[in-house]
Amino acid sequence: MNDEVLIVEDLEKIYSGGVHAVRGVSFKVKKGESVAIIGSSGSGKSTVLRCINRLIEPTNGIIKLNGEIINNPLADVNDIRSKIGMVFQSFELFSHLKVLENITLGLKHVRGMNKEDAEKIALEVLARVDMLDRIEAYPGNLSGGQKQRVAIARSLAMHPEVILFDEPTSALDPELIGSVLQTIRGLADEGMTMVIVTHEINFAKDVADRIIYMDKGIIAEEGPSEIIEKPKTDRLKEFLSAMDEE
């Protein structure tokens, strides 16, 4: 068996309004690899991410998880999603549930575990993101960084094959970003397979094994993290200099 966990081939997405958001994107993610997708707003990077766990149905193309095609209408989408973790820009914690319940929900109702086992796993993953002290709090009473760490713990608890990060830090205050990036970096070091859509160029360089630069729906440049320092294409150069000015 090859070690490519995720394969995306010729992914294309046309929204019902006629917007051609993604125009043929292909890439592969190896086991234990972390891939960062960067690009300006509207370049289609979030669409690619959402197509991978079929929150958006792709118009064309093939997506394989562990060699299995997952974007056919007959596949069990719920089972696939439970193997793919997702962390959102706006956290999307379940605000009516306490931190612990946020994490045990999926274990109990998707994995069918009993309460004790689920809580054991939940406490483990909360320890990994350093949130053990707030397990009885409601999400409304947490800070942004804490919320995002709980969201990461929620996807970790399902033991996913790959975790998708959709701009995990862009809704956070600058002083809160650090703790979240620390957590993600920790996961990368532990060998978690990750696809990260981000605006944090430095973080991408730091964490990602490989960087994909997307522009206008296609992959404009792809390569190891060094391409940030030595961009080959003009478009990436422009993008990086625009980011520096901010």
Instruction: State in angstroms the smallest separation of the CB of 221 from other proteins.
Output: 29
Which residues is 23 bridged to in the sheet?
A: 12
Nearer to other proteins, 34 or 102 (CB): 102
Nearer to other proteins, 27 or 138 (CB): 138
Identify the CA nearest to 85 among candidates 168, 206, 143, 145.
168
Nearer to other proteins, 78 or 114 (CB): 78
Nearer to other proteins, 50 or 210 (CB): 50
Instruction: State in angstroms the smallest separation of the CB of 87 from other proteins.
Output: 9
Residues near other proteins (CB under 8 A) are 16, 50, 53, 55, 73-76, 78-79, 81-86, 88, 90, 92-96, 105-106, 109-110, 138-141, 151, 154-155, 158
Amino acid (one-letter) located at 102: N
Cα gap 118→104, rounded to integer Å:
5
Report residue 191: phi and psi, to 5°.
90, 25
Instruction: State in angstroms the smallest separation of the CB of 16 from other proteins.
Output: 8
From residue 7, give the alpha-carbon distance in Å to each of 4, 65, 75, 223: 7, 7, 16, 16
Instruction: State in angstroms the smallest separation of the CB of 41 from other proteins.
Output: 18
Nearer to other proteins, 142 or 181 (CB): 142
Instruction: State in angstroms the smallest separation of the CB of 56 from other proteins.
Output: 10
